[in-house]
Structure 1
Amino acid sequence: MPVKVRAISIEGDADPVTLALIRQVLAAAPGKVDLFVQAAHPSVRPTPVRLIGDDGVKLLAPAPLPCPPVGIVGDLAKLAACHVGLTVRELLGAGRAAHLVCARSAVALVAREQGLSVPQIGRALGGRDHTTIVHALRRAATLTAADPAFRLLCDRLRAGIEEKN
């Protein structure tokens, strides 16, 4: 027996991936959703979503919001976000746009140069897996050789860390 979705609640403005997921749920169960609530708050991302079935069981758990990083990675994330015109939340979020990935790669590279382990960097960058950070470090090595803007970003991050120390 299919489960009837009793409620969908969205905290904040939904990102495109979340909206696509909600559209799929709504299309799969037309007329079976009793409540659809979206509170408008554009700065919240990723969007926590709750789908609750007839029996009160959560069908989709809330997406965890990234915690602001602390320490060296926190300082680097703030510097990188400021330099490329992002918020720290966007930098730590799930986005895979080139400018986000590039900024994260720069943060990972400089954090690694400061002696942090790959798992530590991954946890601080929004809970990413260590293999994602290894890939980011390889990408950073390639970008350092080929992209002057990336080198400038890394140099600014290094200078910002040196000023803090």
Structure 2
Amino acid sequence: MMLHVRPGGSPVLTVAMPCNPFGLPIDPASVPAVSVRTAPPSFAELVRFAEEYADLRRGTLCGPARHRDAAWPRQALMLAVRRERPQLSLPTIGRRLGGRDHTTVLHGVRAAAERCAADPDFAEMVAAFSRKASL
């Protein structure tokens, strides 16, 4: 029997449960260890995490805001997603961040990489987003 659980928007957990087709009791010592597989968080979950981390209102990262408080977390997320999910193209990342052009994403990735070298707080933000994206 397989049970899929998605508690509160967290990754999908797949738990294998032993079954006895004859209805006989199962000896717990004979049951193999339970394995758990987790699915990586969706892009929308990453955006919500980044908005919460940066203390932004919902929808700010995907919106038109260009002020530093919104742009820097957006660029940090662009860099983290580009590093942790290389299968996503620049146009795909841009579309998912409010319909931005791929060149905007490229600029954001480059700017975030430079800022990481100069600002330890920004580097920690990118690291937090990377950890979340790589789960």
**Structure 1-normalised TM-score?**
0.53
Query: What is the CA RMSD across the aligned residues, in angstroms?
Result: 1.4
Deviations along 1:15-71, whole A, 9 cap, x unmatched?
Answer: xxxxxxxxxxxxxxxxxxxxxxxxxxxxxxxxxxxxxxxxxxxxxxxxxxxxxxxx6
**Structure 1 consecutive aligned stretches of length 4 or more whose deviation exceeds 6 Å:** none
Distance (whole Å) between structure 1 residues aligned to residue 58 and residue 47 of structure 2: 6
The reply on whether 1:148 has 2:120 as its aligned counterpart is: yes
How many corresponding residue pairs? 93
* Rounded Cα–Cα distance in structure 2 between residues aligned with 1:88 and 1:109: 20
Identical aligned residues as a percent: 35
Residue 53 of structure 2: aligned partner: 83
Summarize the alignment of residues 31-42 of structure 1 with structure 2, pairs less than 5 Å apart: none
Letter in 1 for 2:62: L
Q: Which residue number corresponds to residue 119 of structure 1?
A: 91
Deviation at 1:137, TM superposition (A): 0.8
Residue 57 of structure 1 corresponds to none
The alignment status of 1:157 with 2:121, answered yes or no, reads no
Q: Which has the higher contact order (CA 8 A, sep 6+)?
A: 2
Q: What is the one-letter code of the residue matched to 1:78?
A: R
5+ long unaligned stretches in structure 2: 1-40
Whole-Å Cα distance in 2 between the matches of residues 139 and 120 of structure 1?
A: 19
Unpaired runs of 5+ in structure 1? 1-70
1:128 aligns to 2:100 (yes or no): yes
Q: Distance in 2 between matches of 1:105 and 1:90?
A: 13
